Amino acid sequence: MKRKTKVKLARFRRAALDLAKRLSVIAIGASLIAVSFNAFVIPYGLLSGGVSGLALLGKYVFDFPVYLGILLLNIPIFLWGLKELDKRFMIYSAVGTIVLIVMLPLSKPFVPVPELDLFLACIFSGIGNGMGLGIVFRYGASTGGSDIASMIMKKKKNISIGATMFYFNAAVLVPSLYFFDLKIAMYTAISMWVGGKVLDTVIDGFNRHKSVMIVSDKSSEIAERIMRELNRGVTYLEGQGAFSGNAKLVINCVVSHYEIAKLNEIVQSTDKKAFIFVTETVEVMGKGFTW
């Protein structure tokens, strides 16, 4: 077999494995959402945001199956998305949506419903939905509905995704006040808030660190101590004081949450006049963090 053919086959296998992994993880995330619905949302009469929330309203008011409601409501949204958004994203989102629709009735007989009070049910529904959505989003897909509509509105009207999601959620919560007690709407709002926090954590990962910039006249001493005592790499950036006009070496480094206190101690004990500012950093990759 020729070398070029072997290289092409290797690339094809790698691409196929990557695709299989992506679709499998998307399916796992969508299945987790279905399990959360069957265990915590539907049995306790809670709602959800966006299209799934409207489908749940149809279930509670008209006894219309949730999975059919999600399917029917998503058809026009997907047709709209195919015209406006990246085709690959839409294909991945179709997989996530189809798995959710299929798993809702399929998993129901096998999902035990725990005996919880309404507050715990809304907390765990938020955790389950947030984890599932976070997994799906992290792998470049969605479960359809308001996620796709939000991206389209951002592209066409420059309306933020968060604003569009808020309007979709309001479209569910406001009508629910007519059919249900205020308590249900409030618990649903708690569930949405918890789900949003969990979703952010899953998307950003637990790999949160601090990016630190240090301006000092003793940069070399501070950098040497950071490398020796914290075993972290340091980068020098060339700077110049606007008032003094003096050249300065600005230190840039990344440390974990647990190391920030020690870094502050190093800076303050070396140069009390040092200027330091810290920003939150996610998805740090490289030696000392991921390998």
pLDDT at 139 (0 to 100): 86
E strand intervals along 161-225: 208-215
SS3 186: helix
pLDDT at 213 (0 to 100): 93
**250 contacts: CB under 8 Å, gap ≥ 6:** 213, 214, 215, 219, 236, 237, 238, 239
Give pLDDT tens digits for 254-288: 987 778 888 999 999 999 989 998 888 766 666 66
Which positions of the chain have pLDDT values less than 70? 1-3, 7, 160-162, 204-208, 282-291
Give pLDDT tens digits for 173-183: 888 888 888 88
pLDDT at 168 (0 to 100): 80
CB 129 within 8 A of CB 48: yes
Q: Tokens at residue 169, please? A: 């959620």
Q: Is the dihedral of CA 58, 60, 63, 65 positive or negative?
A: positive
pLDDT at 152 (0 to 100): 85
In the chain, where are the structural domains located? 3-204, 208-282
pLDDT at 290 (0 to 100): 52
pLDDT at 179 (0 to 100): 85
Domain 208-282 matching CATH 3.20.20.70: the answer reads: no
Cβ-based burial of 115 (10 A; exposed 0-12, middle 13-18, buried ≥19): exposed
pLDDT at 123 (0 to 100): 95
